[in-house]
Amino acid sequence: MTTFAVTYVYDDRAADRDTHRPAHRAFLSGLLAAGVLRASGPVSDGDMQGALLVLDAPSAEAAGTILDSDPFATEGLVAARAVAEWTIVSGSVG
C-alpha cells in the first residue's frame, strides 16, 4: 500500500457541513477501523475551510474512489480535492 495525503477544500455551506458532519465522521471512523485511514482533521487558512486526510491505498485513483463515498463528497460540500502520494521520511502517522 502507498500512503496518500488528501486535501479537501470545502464550499461555503457551513450549515450543511454541520448537518452532514455526523455521517462524515462515521464514514471516516469506518475507514479508520478498516486500517485505510491513518489520520484526518480540519484545516483552515483565513476564510478557507477544509481537511487533511492521510490514508493508505493501492493508487491515487483508488484513494479518490474511496473518498467519493464520503458524505461530504456525495452532498457536494467538497469544492476541491487533491490526492498526492506521500513518502513519510521522518516520524509516523497513525
- Cβ atoms of 77 and 13 closer than 8 Å: yes
Nearest to 85 by CA among 49, 65, 61: 61
**CATH number of residue 50's parent domain:** 3.30.70.1060
39 lies in some domain:
yes
pTM exceeds 0.85, yes or no: yes
Domain that holds residue 6: 2-85
pLDDT tens readout for residues 39-63: 999 999 998 999 999 999 999 999 9
Structural domain includes residue 93:
no
- Domain assignment present for residue 21? The answer is yes
pLDDT at 20: 98
Q: Provide the number of structural domains found in the chain.
A: 1
pLDDT interval class at 92 (50, 70, 90): confident
Query: Has residue 51 been placed in a domain?
Result: yes
Q: Is residue 12 part of a domain?
A: yes
Residue 87, burial from CB neighbour count under 10 angstroms (0-12, 13-18, 19+): exposed
**Model pLDDT, residue 50:** 97
What is the predicted pLDDT for the residue at 23? 98
